[in-house]
Amino acid sequence: IYFLFQRMVLFAVLVITTLALLFHWQFISIYGYWRRKGFPHLPGRFPFGSSRDMALLGRYQGHVLQDFYNRLSPNPFGGFYIWNYPFLLLSSPEMVRIVMAKEFHHFRDRGRLEASSNSPLSNHLFSLDGDLWRAMRIKLTPAFTSGRLKHMYSLFDICAKKFEESLQRNVNETVDIKALVSGYAQETISSCAFGLELTPTISEQFSKVTQTIFPQCVHMERKIQIALVLMFPFIEKLSAFNFLNKDVDEFFLSLVKDTVKYREENNVRRNDFLDLLLQLKNKGTLDTGDKEVAANTEQSNVEMTPAMLAAQCFVFFVAGFESSTSIISNCLYELALNQDIQQRVRDEIDLVTKRYEGIVTYQSFQEMPYLQQVISEVMRKYPTLPLVTRKCTKRFPVPDTDLVIDEGTKIMIPFYAFHHDPKFPEPEKFDPERFSPENKSTIEPYSYLPFGEGPRLCIGNRFGLLQIKVCLYTFLRNYKAIYANKIDF
């Protein structure tokens, strides 16, 4: 028995050693990928790849990719590794133009983690790839025109009045501005997306959802999940593997289902996002008055199922809440630090308010160029997304080189690194004059990417900007932001 036990132990040791060697060999073999392809690259080291911080999400991804960007300079692109997966980093505006616009048909997919498809909320526009993305984009584009926003403006106005009331309750108080602004963001999303009044109960539910969604990449469980999917892609296919919390799925599916049922039973119509989605569900198109747009929308072969409706509302909430809250908070932070800039914005607001005799409209916000300059500079200094990804869907020979990007290659475009490149003089300085009419034209195309570029440009950028402007206008019309002496970060 003892002899048999020894043989079993020896066999187990041999198996484990063999598997470990094969595992190590796989990594080492993959770490030669970019060298064999002839691309400039950063070396990979077992087991994390080119950066432990990138693999373990131990540091802000924007800063890590900025380091990569600087190390690869002056090359227009270069390879790196996360765990045992090769990525291509773009480091020149011209390569960004090629990937995001000029040769978009080679790079139209984001290359999402397939594990996300196990959530019914995963089939939203930001996540979709291929023909399904194109069909959904065609369907949704008419919902985000300037004309639609004009019809929706009355909803923003109601939310602004409620935000004004919350400001009055906190006059001369030291407040966490992000917490205050997040209430406004929840209010606008509730009204403009779901047609709901933000009651304390709904607000609490939304808060629970945001706490579940946004910090999840920091949690160790999520880090392990992402690492496993990158190292072992077959895990993506497992039906039980879902990056979203099931409570999030259930909340949004139930919310949309109940709201749709109420509207259809009571023939309720509102100029909000869900109303437009219901038009798409029931008619296959939107009432735009444009026959060409209607024809294109009808030909878009994608069914707006209840789950598909919920998925679009979900991403509307995620994008509209987090990005607007962040941008507004950073605007007020910078204005508090730069009182001269704040006063100039307030002077512009006063001028436009008098021009419209105190009754602001959608058009009013088109006549505040300096406010737009401030927002543009905030989106440069504090980009909402540090990066976006693309996936090569068709073998691509790189122009003016002998290099080829293989089909399936995942690409990262580092927004933060581009926005903090020294091509923007003193990039860490807050300077809205970069976006003045005379200076804006000097910015190199595709080096400033607040909403992305090309056919996958953020479809909701007009909505987001209006949401931000209404909030800043409401605040700065009657109040001044002042930096507190003590802030606990």
Cβ contacts of 392 within 8 Å, gap of 6 or more: 106, 107, 405, 406, 407, 408, 409, 410, 411
Cβ contacts of 57 within 8 Å, gap of 6 or more: 217, 218, 223, 226
Q: Report whether 313 belongs to an annotated binding site.
A: no
| CB-based burial, 308-317: b 16+ in 10 Å, e otherwise | bbbbbbbbbb
Binding residues, as ranges, are: 458
Binding residues for heme, as ranges, are: 458
